[in-house]
Every structure is written in C-alpha cells, then in structure tokens.
Chain A
Amino acid sequence: MLTRQLLRYRLDGDRLLPRWLKPTPAVLQLAEDLLAFWKGGIGRMRGELDEGESAILHGSRQMLVGRGLSKVLTDACDFGDPASAEALRARALAASFARLRQPLASSDEHRAAVAAELALAPEALADGLYADLPDRAVLAAVPAWNATTLIARCNLALCQGLLLGASELRVHLRDRERGIQRRLLRALARRRLCAEVASADGGGLYLTVSGPAAVLDQRSAYGMQLALWLPALACATQWSAQVQVVPPRGVHAARMELDQSLGLPGDLALLDWVPPELAAWLEQLPAKLPGWTAVDPEPIVLPGGQVVLPDLALADGQRTVAVELFHRWHLVQLRTRLDQLRAGLLPGLIIGVDRGLSRLAEARPLLDDPLIATRGFQFSDLPSARALAEALAR
C-alpha cells in the first residue's frame, strides 16, 4: 500500500476524494517506462536500478504519481538476498583495528594498508566491505503486469493507504452468489474484524465492518485489517462501500465512497487467507478426525434476514455439519442461538462453548440447557478433535 507521503486526495466538505490515477496517455507512458525499466533490470542490483529509475521519475511531470507507481511495482518485485560479506568484514575489521593502535596519517593510507594485508586492492576492499546491503540485492523477477494493471494496483494501494485511518466500513454486497459471500465473511472473521450482517433485497448482503474497539475510537488497530480485506472485497463483481476515514493530514473523519466501477483489482490470495494457527489446525484435522474433512461453511439466512456464518463446516461424504464457536464475549449471542436452535431454525448446526464462557455465572443456566448436551461441546482456543468427534457422533 502507498505510504502517507504518496497518498493523493482532497477534501470536499465531509467527503474525502482520492485522486484516482486515470490512464491518460502521460500516465500510461510513465507506467510503461517504469515497467520496461524494471523488466530490463533483471539480474542487476537494486541500488543502481533505483538510481537509474530516478532519471525516469525526474523526467516526468508527475513525480508523486511516478513514486507511487514505482512503490507499487517494486513492492511486487522479487529481489534475491545479496551474498553475505560478513566473513570479509570480520577479517578486514580485525586488521583495521590492529593498525589503528598506531594510526597512519590519512584514512586512504590506512585503507590501503589493510587491503594489502588482505591481498586486495583498496577499491575492492571498500566495495566489498558492505556488499551485502539491500541496495546490492539482485532483481530476480518483475510481475507480469501491463501499464493498465499497474495503474489499477496503484489505485488499490492508494485506497489501502487511506483505509489505515478508517474506523468503519459499510458495504453493500450485491453479488448474489453464495460462494463469494461466504468467502468474504470468512475472510472478515479470520482478520478478527467484527461485522453486522443483514440480508439485502435481491439476495445481497449489508455489512458493517469494524474492529471490536472501533466504538472506542481505536481505529488504527483495525485500519490495517480493513486495508487487507479490501482486495478480498474487490473480488466481488457488484459492491459499494462507504468508509469513515481520518485522512493522514487531517483531524476529522471524512467519508470516502468506493465501488466496483473503480476497477480496483481483487486478490484471491487475500480472499482465501488462512491465519497460520488455523492452517496448522486444519492440516492436522484429517488425521485426528478420520472420515471428516473441513469444507467452507455456508452462511445461513434466518427468517427476518439475520445471517449466521458458522466458523467451520465438516463433511463426511454424506452430510455436512456446521460448527459455530462461542467465546467469552458471546454470552448474548449464545442465548439467542440456543433459542433459534430450540425453534428448529438451524438444523445442521452444532455449537462449541469456550471454557472461559462456561465459567461465567450467567452462562451456567444456558449450559444446563438439554440442547448443549445434544448439540454442544466445550473448547479452549480451538476445538479438540475429540470434542468434535463426540459432538458429531451425537
């Protein structure tokens, strides 16, 4: 994403208007020049490429735009690690400090004497002493983008940079396809974002996305998560969003509006991102729970439009069972869900209750509910295979 200095926007009353990069001939030319320059630089060192690139940037009338394009492009480039120079450094410094006990008249003489001791030319010593700095990293690969793609990615990076100051994102997802809805909701949960979800006319969803502490104005803790979720949202084909953003050079929140017409590129890797601890748990599941595999949970729409998104779904080839987990702060939701189970609204759902929640006095009457005995289990952090197996068997 773009850094603060590279964010281009203006304020119009309570609205924040990003200065979208348009594919004008000048901008397209600049993007093409940068792409050609970096693609032609494979095998060369970063430092010399940065220096060479500055000629393109300084030659352009839009230096800030050029820097933004360059940032997005080089962030996506692959640089190899420069070879370590630590061994040479250790030998050279040992020799240098031995000679510094009786220093020579000039640093040139000193360097020449140290180089001679190492059987190197003074220039070779100076060049090799810190040859493992990042500017010596060799460019290995450049993304296969064209100028239009680079411009679109720069606009996405602009948006993400602005979202770092966001407190809440209101989304109208018009895509009716359950698959994308499910993946977007799952991506939200995996980023520890909170969402109020309601069904919209025509099969879409309304989402109000924020972090747990957003009501307390601790927005920036979630700004990064919102920024990382945006490329997932952009995978949808029909959506619009309103964001309250405190701009980097401002004090008061302003409204930013986004939708699919901006052509922001989606990122499937971020749509299907799995946190490392969950990935490890899922990897162990088939061995610990033979016959069952984890599948994507389907959102369940209740009468009245409320949407329930289970945390997990397990399938054994014949049936699919959804699993919803209730943590210490889900007392109210657990009470509601038990009422809904009792009313027969969620036939394929079993529920896990965090032991921290079980210990609450208010939760005890709920745990005595017969539904817990037939449809529930307890867990800490993540459900154990044994508890799941027992619940599934019931």
Chain B
Amino acid sequence: MISLRFQDGTLLLDGLPEDGGPLAGLCVWDARVRLHRAAALHYAAILRRLHGKAEYRDEARAYAEVVLAEREPRPMRHYQRAALEAWEGAQRRGVVVLPTGAGKSYVALRAMLACRRSALVLAPTIDLVVQWATDLEARLGRPVGQYGGGEKRLDDITVATYDSGILFMPWHGNRFGLIIFDEVHHLPSGVTSQTASMCIAPFRLGLTATPERSDGQEGRLDDLVGPIVHRTRIDELEGEFLASYQAEVVEVAMDPDEAASYTAHRAQYLTFLRASGVQLSGPTGWQDFLAAAGRDPRGRAALRAWREQKRLARASRAKLRAVWELLREHGGERALIFTDDNDTAYEIGRQMVLPVMTHHTRPAERRAMLAAFRDGSWPVLVTSKVLNEGVDVPEASVGIIVSGSGSVREHVQRLGRILRPQQGKVAVLYELVSAGTAEGFTSERRRSHAAFGENDWRDEAPPAPRPPPPARPC
C-alpha cells in the first residue's frame, strides 16, 4: 500500500518502488529519509494517478469539507459567471483576469461556495488581507482567520499575506483544499512561489487584472495555479459595470531655472554614459553605471546629475502647482495623488498639508486615513505605491499621477483605483508629465494598454474552456 504524508511543505510517499512506479516523474527518492518525496503542489496529480489504479492511504490531507452559505445571495454578473464556469471547467485550477473594480473577490467567494473545502486567500499586503477578511466575514456570516500583521488565527476560511504564507506553509500547507491567490502576478517571483508549491490544495484560483510580468515569469502560473481561463478587459465593462472614465495627459512646463538645471544635469550624465559605453537599458545597465561611477570622479558626478534630473522631472515646482490647481478644480471630490517615490509624496504632503500613506505609515494610522477618505472627512490622499493594488476606495473619482514608472501594470492598477462604479460617476485620471523630459517616453510606455486607447502589448483571446474534468478524488 502506498501512503502519503505531509511534511514541511512536501509530501512523503511510502510504499513506492525505487523508480517511483505509478508516480514516476512526480517524486524523487530522498536518501536522507529513505522515502520518496514530492512537492506538495503535486498532491492532486498524485491522487489522480493513484485513484482506482493502486491501493493508497492519504494521510496528507488535513483540510475539511465546509458548508458555506452567502448571507445575502446576489446574482452574478455575466462575466463573473463566465469566469467561474471557465474555472470549474478547468478542474478548478486557473487564473481569472478581470479589471480592477469588476468584482474579482465575488468570483472568489462563489468559488469557495462551489468547492466546499476549507480555503486560504493570499494577498500581497496587510491592507488587502484586512479588506478580504472583513468582506468575507460580512458575506459569509462566520469568523475568518487572519495571518499576518501581528495576527495568527487559522480558521476554515483564512486570509494571509504572501509573506506569512511562505512562513506557515511548511506547517499548515495541508489544511486547505482551495487556495486563492489575489493579485496572482506576484506569485511567480522568487520565494513567493513557494506558497503555491508547499501547499497541497487541489483547487486553485488566481485573480489579477494584469497577469503579465516584465520578467516574463507569468508562464510559471500554469504550473503553480493553472492556465488563464478567463479574461475580460476594462473597455468591455466601462460605463456599465465600471465607472466611465477619462484619462488625460497633462504636459507641465518647468520653470526656466529648473528646466535649465534639468537640461544641464541630463547632458552631464548622458555624456558620461556615452563616454564609458554604459547602456542603462541593458540587463545590467544600472550595475554597470554604478561600477563605472565608482572608478571615476566624473562618474560620481554623473550619478549625482542623474539623481538631480530625475528629481526635477518627478517633482518640479510647476508640477506641484499643477497638483494644487487640479485639487482646486475638483474641490469636493475624492482624489488620490500617486507618486513614484516617497520623497515626492511627503514633499506634497508637507507643502499642501495633506495625508500621505506609504509603507512607513503605521497600520492604525493607515486604517484611520482610509476611513477618513471613505467618509469624506479627508477627501484627498497622497500615496507612492501602497495604494497601487487592490485596496477598495470606491468613492475615489479623481486620480492624479504626479510620477510613476513605465510599468503598464502599475498604471492600469492606478486607474483601477478610481473605477469602482457609483451612481453617475465619471472618473478622471490625470497624468502629469514634465514637458521636454524623459518622462514623456515613460508615460508612452505605461499607456500601451487598451484601457488608454492603445493596443494591449500582450492582449490575447481567452483560451477555450477545457472539457469537463474526470471524477475528482480530492
């Protein structure tokens, strides 16, 4: 008889022939314990191979069947239903791509109801974990466990950060039959992927608005979660299920002294790059620049010049005046101000006496800031990156991007923050770009997405649903 046991995020398999027999390719011989060992990720595949073909005993599974009910059931929107059906048709393993604000968490809730297994939701930040836990408790009318940010409560339904997941998976990776990865594009990176590989959950759902990664690692999601089973784009939902919106690029001319300083500093560092043969766009460009700068006093001056021209383009006086003008123009509306760096965020906060939320902000103050934003007592919030993803601020209708990276994902996520539908809402996203600077190229790069009227750089049709799965032993 073959037996399966869970140990430290892996499966130990006893009773197999040396070559792994029916489980060849899924496990390896571990001479240290004189047993076969497999990644916990392969639990479902192992059971499928053994089911009906070999006698086995499953001592790995420690997850429960749970009967869940939604307190106030509501009809699914057509694209949510399509997403859920596609996921069910793919053996309950796969990634659903929906725009921010389209109700991904409701698809997840319905997946939990369909699976009837203890479930774990992983999210990238504490703010999102708190939001998920609060939402699930309200909808399911039962306590929800929480792991991360000082909380360590496991329950049949638990929400945790990816970071906590990495730490607790060796102990609790067999306690969940369904695992949901919110903002699943984070999963393939480095150690984070082990939250998926050290967990036996046979049912897996990934949620994201933007699965593509600049490093091309999104292909790993196929193994860790499953294929993309459904995709709906922002422009398919605008006006009906998402707020109508306008995206406006505002070119801001620097004051003459700052423009001159920008030009001089930029010329200085570009001259050095050309002379030293460094290509900043190369894979090791920045390292090469630092190394070259370390060898040569002109290089060190070039590095300082690079910083200064970047600072000027991101946060010129004219840009900050433009921010103030926009706040005046949209007086009374809820506005989110995004920056690329903390320094600019705090500069705006100090100058205009506004609340700033960054990773330095303590959790209690974060909650207070979000609550004040939602209830309208503090209707403007400045942030660098922490509000890029997921956090639900449906009241926001104005977004002002003071500076950002060239990442399409970041830009789409920032737009998503203001798209939650509300009666009569027309959202507007301003992107402030310092005229005549390299910011123009950065802005073009991040807007190459259908949401901004351009062809998505890797837009693709959703794959055809797979045929219904065979009987599941999970």
Residues of A within 8 A of B (CB): 5, 58-65, 86, 89, 92-97, 100-103, 106-108, 110-111, 114, 125-127, 129-130, 133-134, 192, 194, 196, 210-213, 215-216, 218, 220-221, 249, 327-333, 360-362
Provide 6 A-B residue pairs closer than 8 Å at the C-beta atoms, listed in order of the A residue: A61-B295, A96-B352, A102-B331, A328-B5, A328-B59, A332-B33
Cβ 8 A contact of A329, one of B33, B293, B324: B33
Judge whether A61 and B32 touch: CB under 8 Å.
no
The distance in angstroms between the C-alpha atoms of A289 and B167, with both chains bound, is: 32
The distance in angstroms between the C-alpha atoms of A65 and B293, with both chains bound, is: 12
For chains A and B in complex, what number of residue pairs have CB atoms within 8 angstroms?
Answer: 137
Residues on A with C-beta less than 8 A from B33 are 329-330, 332-333
* Beyond A93-B355, A111-B352, A130-B350, 5 additional pairs, beta carbon < 8 A: A100-B327, A216-B10, A218-B198, A221-B191, A329-B5
The distance in angstroms between the C-alpha atoms of A114 and B350, with both chains bound, is: 12
Judge whether B353 and A101 touch: CB under 8 Å.
no
Judge whether A221 and B198 touch: CB under 8 Å.
yes
Residues of B within 8 A of A (CB): 3, 5, 7-10, 12, 14, 28, 30, 32-35, 37-39, 57, 59, 166, 170, 190-191, 194, 197-198, 284, 287, 290-291, 293-295, 300, 303-304, 320-321, 324, 327-328, 331-332, 346, 349-356, 360, 365, 377-380
The distance in angstroms between the C-alpha atoms of A115 and B198, with both chains bound, is: 54
| Closest partner residue, chain A, to B286 (CB atom) | A5
The distance in angstroms between the C-alpha atoms of A65 and B38, with both chains bound, is: 42
Judge whether B284 and A328 touch: CB under 8 Å.
no
Q: Closest 6 CB pairs between A and B?
A: A63-B294, A96-B353, A212-B8, A126-B350, A329-B7, A107-B324
| Closest partner residue, chain A, to B35 (CB atom) | A332
Judge whether B34 and A332 touch: CB under 8 Å.
yes
Judge whether B365 and A86 touch: CB under 8 Å.
yes
Judge whether B287 and A5 touch: CB under 8 Å.
yes
Cβ 8 A contact of A101, one of B12, B166, B331: B331
Cβ 8 A contact of B321, one of A106, A111, A134, A213: A106
| Closest partner residue, chain B, to A330 (CB atom) | B33
Residues on A with C-beta less than 8 A from B380 are 97, 100
Residues on B with C-beta less than 8 A from A194 are 32
Q: A61-B294, A100-B380 are in contact. Are A213 and B9 (CB under 8 A)?
A: yes
Residues on A with C-beta less than 8 A from B3 are 360, 362
Judge whether B327 and A103 touch: CB under 8 Å.
yes
B139 to chain A, nearest CB (A): 32
A53 to chain B, nearest CB (A): 14
The distance in angstroms between the C-alpha atoms of A360 and B32, with both chains bound, is: 20
Cβ 8 A contact of A212, one of B9, B293, B294, B378: B9
B108 to chain A, nearest CB (A): 26
Judge whether A110 and B352 touch: CB under 8 Å.
yes
Judge whether B190 and A212 touch: CB under 8 Å.
no
A112 to chain B, nearest CB (A): 10
